[in-house]
Amino acid sequence: MIASEVQPLTSAVPRLRLKLFADGADIAGMREMAAQPMISGFTTNPTLMRKAGISDYAAFAREVLALIPDRPISFEVFSDDFDEMERQARTINAWGSNVYVKIPVTNTRGHSAAKLVHALSADGIKLNVTALMTLGQVAEMTDALSAETPAYVSVFAGRIADTGRDPMPIMQAAVARLAVKPQLELIWASPRELLNVFQAEEVGCHIITATNDILKKLSAAGKDLTQYSLETVKMFHDDAQAAGFKI
């Protein structure tokens, strides 16, 4: 089953420069995506972990890292205190060489994490600075991150779009801002639809992180629309028949 799902993803988008990361905390879903060669990395967050019923953070991380030892995986700190964030970050960093530590751009009081980001990055800890939405935040975190240590800057383009703003100009400007430090990669985060994959590619994003549901839609990329229309008509017809509708 998994092998049959891999081929359509590979054939549908053979020339993407963009890296595809799977976003989730469901072990079965992560295992499914790990079997697909086009998936270059994984991200998680406390909200996804809670939704998946995770109660033991470290045990979950150990299971994931045993399952996926060969691709980058981001695990997030969850304290609101910067000193405790630092302790958690250093602990998470020790879990594996493929671990990136997610640090939110601010704490819940809106205080910038730039000082912590600078200290951790300067010590060679690979970071995923997350929940950014403004170019000011991108500039601040680009300055804070070391030019020598790999890091991700995760801009929530989907949430920007949820406010009625076009994220494309913001993401394009963010790509340009990060270019001063080639070790930094921009993540298009929180995509809402498959189209976002191609938008992220167009503006030069390095990575898009998406749920399994969105990633599986890659098999429909470039599909003939007349055929797709017919399949949709057949779906409505078959569901009406299965429901036994009568008028």
Could you list the active site residues? Answer: 102
Write out the E strands in the chain: 19-23, 39-43, 73-76, 99-104, 127-132, 151-155, 184-188, 207-210
User: How far lies 196's CA from each of 132, 177, 221, in Å?
Assistant: 17, 21, 12
Quick check: 17 and 225 in contact, CB under 8 A? no
Helical segments of 96-216, H only? 114-122, 135-144, 157-162, 167-178, 195-203, 212-216
